[in-house]
Structure 1
Amino acid sequence: MIGHELGGRYEIISRIGGGGMALVYKAHDVLLNRKVAVKVLRQQFVHDEEFIRRFRREAQSAASLSHPNVVSIYDVGQEDEVHYIVMEYVEGNNLNEIIHDRAPLQPEEAVHIAAQICDALENAHQNQIIHRDIKPHNILIGKNGRVKVTDFGIARAVTASTITQTGSVVGSVHYFSPEHAKGTPTGEKSDLYSLGIVLYQMLTGKLPFHGESPISVALKHLQESFIEPRTINPLIPQSVENVILRAMRKNPNERYSSAGEMFRDLDSCLSPERLHEPKATFVNLADDMDATRVMPAIRQSAATVRAASEERASQERTPSAAGTANTQSVEWEDEPKKPWWKRPMPMIIVTLVLIAGLYFGVRAVSNSFDVPEVEVPYVVNMSEDDAVKAIEDAGLLVEEPIIREFNPDFEPGFVYDQSKAKMKVKEGALIKLYISKGAELETMTDFKGQSLNSATEDLAALGVEGSRVKNEPVFSDQEAGTIISQIPAANEQFDPKTVTVTFKVSKGQETVVMPGLVGLKEAEAKVILSQKGLKLSEANIVREPSYEPEGKVIFQFPYKEGEEVGKGAEVSITVSSGLPPDARQKPVNLLISPAQAGTTSEIRIVYSDATGENIEWGKKKIKDTQRFSFNVIVSPNKDATVTVFRDNQLVDSFTITIDSGTGSSDQTIPGKENPPVTDQPTGGTEQTPADPATTNVDPGAGSEDNQPDGNQ
């Protein structure tokens, strides 16, 4: 079966269990993307039409159960000769494994498990479904501690042909009720007997009855008493032993009347006031004809012998009468029976009964006349103390023990129900109170490191609605969608009906916008990257020659300006280390005169070279001829061009190549008159020529506003 896909939907993964009738596999529901358990009918039963019909009907009936302590049945199907049932997959252990590993269990744990089983049985019995095979193998304990009862309804489908199958009875006969062992119809109380044995085994680690064969064990269920639990384990409270003793009575009428009654007894048996209660006692019924008795000896009287001889002689004489009176007459050794009214013991009993009846009758009549009636106060939704006070103030008494149960609709410690509400009763009457223990709490799982979807599904399985699962996206080094923290914290108790669960969920690393670094100085680039939370190591700084000034960023990698980058990412930059080897620096010397001698002219110089186009060298106002000196960069593939403007008029333009001389000859640009030449820059009026490493010059660097003329 491993690897087979049943019904085109359930992919069998592995075998996880089996019994006398079926094998159980773990499977994957490819349609709903969830794990399921698939129970497959054994091959020896696939041709029994009656079995298959009842098997399917009972499986469908069990599917109608909806209870947190019952394994849900999802689907029933058939593929060729394979009959299967698809059920809820419970990840954990069955109770038999837990008993084998850890028994005897603590009373608190054993009672908690038994109460959940009892709660499941009550729900099933209300739906007219009898389990008939309650045993530790059919009780699953999930990793969250939730008890799940499985195999509901399947035992009903067992026919006479299956009783003799090896293992089918051996595995369950230790948990048979006496009526089950007799073969008589079993009812709800049969399940309670089996549950009593399960509780016995949890608390003692032993089974109450053992035998060499299934028949011998079944007979012990019918005829023998078991060793009382406290004899094996003295740590068991008397109140808990009383539950077992009552559940395992051989007479069904002496057991609990219902699973609900047993559940309430389990729920209160560990309360302090009950731990040392008296041991439960039971009176054997007088009309139990199956009980073993000691009878008086019998003898034959002489008259009887004579009568028998005469009878035989008569039969010999009358053949037709032969066989009509061939029984032997016997009589008790005691005197012939007297009428019952002449015997002392019955008369004594009758007399006592009459006296007791007369006493209680007179007392009842007297009470009916003397005891006043009072109104029962309505105490639902009151605190326990206030409710008790209100009842006692009304002249009534609170019946012990007070019932305490989980109730999600009422706060812990508040009354959620009462007996004899809104009616008049005799003063001193007992009023039963039902106190809420609040909602049944669950233990929060540690979801850190899991995905949000997985956590939401697990919480939904516990009854937490999706609307009460909040998530707060935060930046983190963890993968996007991973839970980083949670409220409530792991292992905290919570109410699935009211809790709000908040997860902080990673949305990946925080991102920043990549800045533009090209054109910045190296130091400036480092500062900006540090402010953005990005990393720049010396190993990621590449230096290479370029026509850009030394120290300027000429390239960034791998992120371009404007891209989203994860915070903490590493960046590489390329920085200019100076001019390439084939570049040359050429000096430029200009003698420029004003347009008119004695007047002021504005000189503007623009040049293009290997470092860029139309570079403004600057402006300068002059009144006499001045020298302007600066350098340009040329290469084998790029010449330099210098253009001079005077009073916004183009006055000259010339080219400098890599082959041009390196001498200091001046290029003269005369005016109308040529006054004495003044070198430029000189003194405080000197205009600083453009540094070949700096392609752009502040146009106002040499203006009159910033630098006074030396001749003025």
Structure 2
Amino acid sequence: MDLSVSDAPVGRLLDGRYRIEALLARGGMATVYKATDTRLDRAVALKIMHAELAADDDFVARFINEARAVAQLSDPNVVNVFDQGEDDGAVYLAMEYIHGRTLRDVLHERGRLGADLALEVAESVLSALAAAHRAGIVHRDVKPENVLVGNDGRVKVADFGLARANSTSSKTTRGLLGTVSYISPEQALGERATPRSDVYSAGIMLYELLTGKTPHEGPTDFVVVRSHIDDDVPPPSEAVPLPPAVDDLVLTATAREPRKRYADADAFLAAIRSTRAAIVGVPLPEPEDDPDLTEVHAEPRDSAGVSLDEALAGTVLAGQVGRVNDVEPRRPAAEPDEDEDETGDDVAQADARWDGEESRPGSTRRIDAPLSIRFTEDETEDGEKAPPPGSRAARQAEARARATSHRRTEQTRGRRGLYLFLFVLLLAIGVATAAWWYGSGRWESTPSLLDLTAEQAETRAEDSGFDAVSGGEEFSETVEAGLVLRTEPGPGERLLGGSEITYVLSRGPERYVVPELVGQTVAQANELAEPLAMTVTVEEEVFHDEVEAGLILTQSVEAGEEVRRDTEVVVTVSRGQEPLDIEDFTGQPADQAQAALAEAGFRVVTEEQNSDDVEAGVVISQDPASGTGFRNDEITIVVSSGPELIEVPNVRGERVERAEEILREAGFEVEVEDLFPEFGSDGRGDRVQNQEPAAGEQAPRGSTVRIIIF
């Protein structure tokens, strides 16, 4: 079954793992299905390459290599790639399944977005592109169809670095990587896509988000492509009211000349953030700030919004105060009423009340025994003479003395309780302070040292109570050489005062000078390119008459040009001279042989030779007459000049016998013609009267000379 074109492979288990659930979309390169990863029990988006593309080994290799590269990206705005494989000819990619819709769907519903929302969406898109550019990946096809908007509001970018085939639905022109409405001028001209090409496409998309339409439109793809090449993008404020700063963003990103655009998505992203901060008050994040790290290191709080440190201190204090407050105030003893009966019941009842209160369950205070004050038999507490024992006055005096003693005891206990409360309060404060100090009080937030020189970074760290130490240097496309690129730990993290912060300085953009590769072998070129972080790729091998086989003829990047790491230099290699088949022209006219051999690329040397058998002007022999040779090789042909010519001797006046002898010695045949045969003479003794050819003429050896007698 051809999964790439089937509408109903639902239920099929691909590669023994992915159960296809439903068709999601079909494009020019692949068909996308919703599937279930049966091993991890999660939904995935399964992209299956079309069968005709899957049959192209080069395309599949590129598909796999770039999918692996995209899988290494960790930006939250990139659609995650989980797996890649092949099952019975079906080449697939398993990706994160996003519950939501495309940005194109959003535009269809809303027409256009407000400036703030459009810039916010662009931030997310550029964050994903920036991660790709830092990894050396160019998207090549930035457009709303490749931007997914989740139901939770997250924006994610899909289809990184994957080539597009022709598709009527996406207006993709065959031979171009990209969609015509968003393609950069250099891509339209067939040049290699760069990060600036993605910046251009993102700028066109931002224009569309702001205005609801693309800047270049026309009846045919060709018209749109020519507009990208020939026409500037107009300011979006001509279509909708916008601040000038937003116009500047779009016009800079969509400059027709690549070098006038933002260098990459990082630079475009920084410009958008600055613009948002200026026009809508969105705070700028710290450079290299990671929202995940910020969340991890935020102050932990409970459900009431209280930090753990505060909660710990409050618990200690509340616990101590609670134990003090458990002490109930003692009720004062009742003063005996002077009108009371003189019986001893009043005093007994008062003692019983005190005893009952002291033994009440749950009380934290305890009195070991009822209080009593003894007086001498003869004196009261005031030194007066004691009333007679058992009298009413004696009982009243004892009751008053007991009440006074209880009041003094309560006062003493009240002061002790206050002292205890103050002690516990101070103890709680001390414990809370110690907990704060050992928990977070000694920890300070690290300052931002980014974009500072080493001296400035060390000074700022010292002012903040830390030591800054150098951690070396690294290349950076965005941070100027000599300034701090990153720190460990990052800005805003909490460290013990006096701890070290390691900073890494930028070496600026990583650039290498392309060496001269022409005239080198491929092995020699690789040796030159390896330490420069370049890749040498042989595009083709061609015949060359002057450069020997195995040597490089051309290189795609000129020698001396500065390029980024991992730049690919495409070279053409000589196969040496092209072998030419040699045709044998023996027995053919010499002029035809000379023309044909010269046209084939050979140098022809002609020699003449008498021949009694071969007609003059015909090739007697050729050297070499077969096999192969190379351009400008020499081929010799021997052309017949006919039989050899010799001078006819003069035999006039000679007797016939002698004439015949002379002519035969010269190489001729002799024919005797007697003009008067009727006289019956044998003619042998006659003299020659004439000869043909005449004496002194040239005639072929072996030809006949006629001698005439009479």
The TM-score normalised by the length of structure 2 is: 0.40
The TM-score normalised by the length of structure 1 is: 0.40
Higher-Rg structure is: 2
